[in-house]
Amino acid sequence: MANLVNLAISSNVSGFGNERRYPRKMLISELKGKLELVTGVQCSWMELELYDNQDVLMHKLEDDKMIGFYSPADNWRVHVINTNPNRAEDEYQDVSKVEKYNMSEDDYLKKEDSVRNFMMKNKMGKFSEEAKKNEELQKQKELEEYEIAKKFKIGDRCQTSVPKQPKRLGSVQYTGETEFKPGCWVGVKYDEPMGKNDGSVKGKRYFTCPDKYGGFVRPSQVEVGDFPEEGLGLSDEDEM
């Protein structure tokens, strides 16, 4: 058996783990001294548990025994329990109790050593030339969506063509901006229950139709024209 054993270290005061190699001849009392530096738990308040690779508790470790006495295999885990009832760490286990500092946008923009300032000076990320071009293209595309929507009238028969979805027939019921997403949208009442709503989204109503008959698509995905309603124009013999 190897003289050294690789052990994972965990504790009830931190979510972070470590892996260390220790001599099997080391006393558990000596191991506690080593683990004090790793976990910050004082030896006098420390209890140790040994878990196998399946995370099954094998032993509670006693100070006067050697590590090798418990015959641990590599990658078994020593769990450190801080038994101090007044330990300060508990105060910060729940981050909701930690007071947060909020800096105003104006103050942040004035900071010369901020990440934002660094990225601006070096034209990185959203401040790069490529990002600016993409932003301009997106603005132009959005303007085109508004121009398309201007041609639609409430009640226009239409067909929607959304990627990875079948084409659907319906009628235009709404055009304009929405609260659920930025940009221009067209509200459509479908001829069949192939939509996602009843003309309202997140409590905001834009038009009214039966549930599952309503949907919202981008203007560029809408074609208006003389589209017959689903089911119309069929003889009795053609209907199923």
Which of the four pLDDT bands, split at 50, 70 and 90, describes residue 117?
confident
Mean pLDDT of 169-198: 96
Q: How many angstroms separate the CA atoms of 83 and 12, rounded?
A: 9
Asked if pLDDT for residue 89 goes beyond 70, the answer is no
Q: Supply 35's token pair.
A: 């683990």
Question: Is the pLDDT at 235 greater than 50, yes or no?
Answer: no
Q: What angle do CA 197, 200, 206 make, to 5 degrees?
A: 130
Indicate if the pLDDT at residue 234 is higher than 90: no
Q: DSSP secondary structure string, the chain? A: --SEEEEEEEETTEEEEEEEEEETT-BHHHHHHHHHHHH---GGGEEEEEE-TT--EEEE--TTSBGGGG-PPTTEEEEEEE--TT-GGGGGTSGGGSPPP---HHHHHH-TTSHHHHHHHTT-GGGSHHHHHHHHHHHHHHHHHHHHHTT--TT-EEEE--TTS--EEEEEEEEEE-SSSSSEEEEEEESSS-SSBSSEETTEESS---TTSEEEE-GGGEEES-PPPTTTT--TTT--
Give the domains, in start order, of the chain with CATH numbers.
Answer: 4-90 (3.10.20.90), 139-240 (2.30.30.190)
Per residue in 186-233, pLDDT (tens digit) is 999 999 999 999 999 999 999 999 999 999 999 999 999 999 886 544
CA 230, distance to chain mean position in Å, is 40
pLDDT of 91 strictly over 50: no
Q: What is the pLDDT of residue 156?
A: 97
Residue 237 has pLDDT above 60, yes or no: no
Residue 236: pLDDT band (50, 70, 90) is very low
Instruction: Provide the pLDDT for residue 78.
Output: 93
CA-nearest of 171, 163, 148 to 229 is: 171
> Which band of pLDDT confidence, cut at 50, 70 and 90, is reported for residue 92?
very low
Taking only the tens place, the pLDDT of each residue in 143-159 is 999 999 999 999 999 99
Q: Is the pTM of this model over 0.75?
A: no
pLDDT of residue 15: 61
Lowest-pLDDT choice from 25-29, 131-135, 168-172, 178-182: 131-135
Q: Exposed (0-12), middle (13-18) or buried (19+): which is 20, by Cβ within 10 Å?
A: middle
Extract the tokens encoding 7: 């052990």
